[in-house]
């Protein structure tokens, strides 16, 4: 078990290093931050001095090693655009993104699971087919279109929901939350619905497929034969048996939701990490871009490693066979 753990962790560390290196290679092509930091009256000598001071004249290998060395100690430098420590910038934005992603995940489960069950047990009916069709739209509509559509309907036409921002937030230590104020809660609804739509359809289709599998098994037939009420068979016995893959997928998908949130955040001016990243890209704010990529890939790698380890705990065969 210990060998497995060490292998898994080493693997994760290697992936992180590779991500950092790739990020660094990409940065060579995003442009020159100095051009964006100076104004029309700056002389060439001043630009050169600035470039030298930022260490942009060093070879890429030196810049990369310096970055990794600092990053390991949690130091990602100071943002070129905000002139603020990158770590505190990200810490400020993290709660907004996490809150959005968690709410979207909850919505996707609360809505997606019952819909999956309904389409599985009533397959062939018009409403089940209709839901199936709608779910295709949910998967194929890009999230910025959904976001703008929601804004148009609920903010501009009906005027019931704010079109942008996070509303009034309350800080608890370093964490900020919009859940405790009415305006904060109102502001959360549209973006989390926009973000969850894709996830809802995913959950729904997964539950449906699993349900159809389970419903064919012997214990369901036995339960039905014994006269257990139908809702109990479906929602207790059958559903419980198809939740395992749903939970796994949901956990794994939190990573991609954080990445997806980037678009939703831009549309709703949601002050989260994705917003920060988009702005950093247009400004060639290398420290922020590097830190964001590292942190997001860290979340991915951590979730994957965690899932792997849990599976290994549950299933001893994996420890030797695949580890």
Partner 1 sequence: MTIKASLLTCAAIACLAGGASAETLRWGAARDINSLDPYSYGSTFTISFLNHVYEGLVRYNDKLEIEPALATEWEVLEGNVWRFKLREGVKFHDGAEFTADDVVASLTRVSHPDSPLRGNLPAYVSSVKVDDYTVDITVNGTYPLLLNDLTNIHMFDAGWLTEHKAEVPTDVAKKVEGYPTFNANGTGPFIVESRVPDSKTVLVVNEGWWDTPKHNLTRIEFTPIASDATRVAALLSGEIDFTEKAPIQDLPRLAETPTVKVLEGSELRTIMFGFTFADTLSNGQPNLFKDKKMREAVAAAIDLELIQKKVMRGKSRLAGTVVAPAIPGYDAALDTPTAYDPDKAAALIKEMGAEGYEFEIVCANDVWLNEEEICNAMVSMLTRAGLKPILSIGPNAVQQIKQTNGEADMFSFGWANEPMLDSYSILLQVFHSKTDNAGVFNWGGWVYPDLDKLVDAAATELDREKRLEMQAEALKIVKDELIMLPFHQQPMAWATSDKVEAVVQLSDNKGRHWMTRMAE
Sign of dihedral through CA atoms 66, 67, 71, 76? positive
Pick the closer one to partner 1 by CB: 94 or 204: 94
Residues near partner 1, by CB under 8 A: 29-33, 35-47, 49-50, 53-55, 75, 77-85, 89, 92-93, 148, 151-152, 155-156, 159, 162-166, 168, 170-173, 180-181, 266-269, 271, 275-276, 278-279, 282, 284
Q: Which residues of 62-92 are buried (b: 16+ CB within 10 A; e: fewer)?
A: ebbeebbeebeeeebbbbbbbeeebbebbeb
Query: What's the rounded Cα separation, in Å, for the pair 313 and 242?
Result: 20
CB of 28 to partner 1, least distance (A): 11
Query: What's the rounded Cα separation, in Å, for the pair 198 and 105?
Result: 10
Pick the closer one to partner 1 by CB: 37 or 309: 37
CB of 92 to partner 1, least distance (A): 7
Task: Answer whether 286's CB lies under 8 Å from 80's CB.
Answer: yes
CB of 139 to partner 1, least distance (A): 23
CB of 200 to partner 1, least distance (A): 23
Pick the closer one to partner 1 by CB: 84 or 217: 84
Pick the closer one to partner 1 by CB: 217 or 282: 282
Radius of gyration of the chain (CA): 24
Looking at the chain, which runs of residues are DSSP E strands? 170-172, 175-177
Pick the closer one to partner 1 by CB: 31 or 323: 31
CB of 27 to partner 1, least distance (A): 11
Burial of residue 143 (number of CB atoms within 10 Å: 0-12, 13-18, 19+): buried
């Amino acid at each position: 078990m210990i060998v497995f753990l060490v292998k898994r962790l080493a693997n994760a560390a290697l992936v992180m290093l590779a991500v950092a290196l790739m990020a660094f290679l990409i940065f060579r092509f995003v442009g020159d931050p100095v051009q964006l930091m100076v104004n029309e009256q700056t002389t060439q000598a001043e630009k050169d001095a600035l470039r030298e001071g930022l260490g942009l004249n060093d070879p890429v290998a030196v810049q990369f090693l310096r970055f990794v060395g600092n990053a390991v100690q949690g130091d990602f430098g100071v943002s070129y655009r905000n002139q603020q420590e990158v770590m505190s910038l990200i810490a400020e934005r993290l709660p907004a993104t996490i809150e959005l992603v968690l709410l979207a995940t909850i919505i996707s489960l609360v809505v997606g699971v019952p819909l999956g069950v309904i389409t599985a047990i009533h397959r062939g009916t018009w409403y089940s087919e209709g839901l199936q069709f709608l779910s295709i739209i949910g998967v194929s509509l890009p999230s910025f279109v959904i976001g703008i559509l929601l804004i148009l309907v609920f903010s501009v036409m009906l005027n019931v929901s704010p079109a942008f921002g996070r509303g009034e937030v309350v800080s608890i230590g370093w964490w900020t939350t919009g859940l405790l104020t009415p305006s904060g809660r109102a502001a959360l609804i549209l973006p989390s619905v926009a973000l969850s739509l894709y996830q809802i359809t995913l959950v729904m289709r997964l539950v449906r497929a699993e349900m159809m599998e389970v419903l064919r098994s012997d214990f369901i037939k036995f339960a039905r034969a014994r006269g257990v009420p139908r809702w109990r068979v479906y929602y207790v016995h059958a559903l419980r048996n198809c939740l395992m893959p749903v939970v796994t997928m949901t956990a794994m998908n939190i990573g991609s939701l954080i990445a997806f949130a980037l678009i939703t955040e831009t549309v709703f001016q949601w002050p989260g990490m994705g917003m920060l990243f988009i702005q950093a890209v247009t400004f060639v704010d290398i420290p922020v871009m590097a830190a964001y990529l590292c942190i997001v890939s860290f979340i991915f790698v951590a979730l994957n490693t965690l899932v792997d380890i849990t599976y290994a705990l549950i299933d001893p065969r994996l420890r030797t066979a695949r580890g």
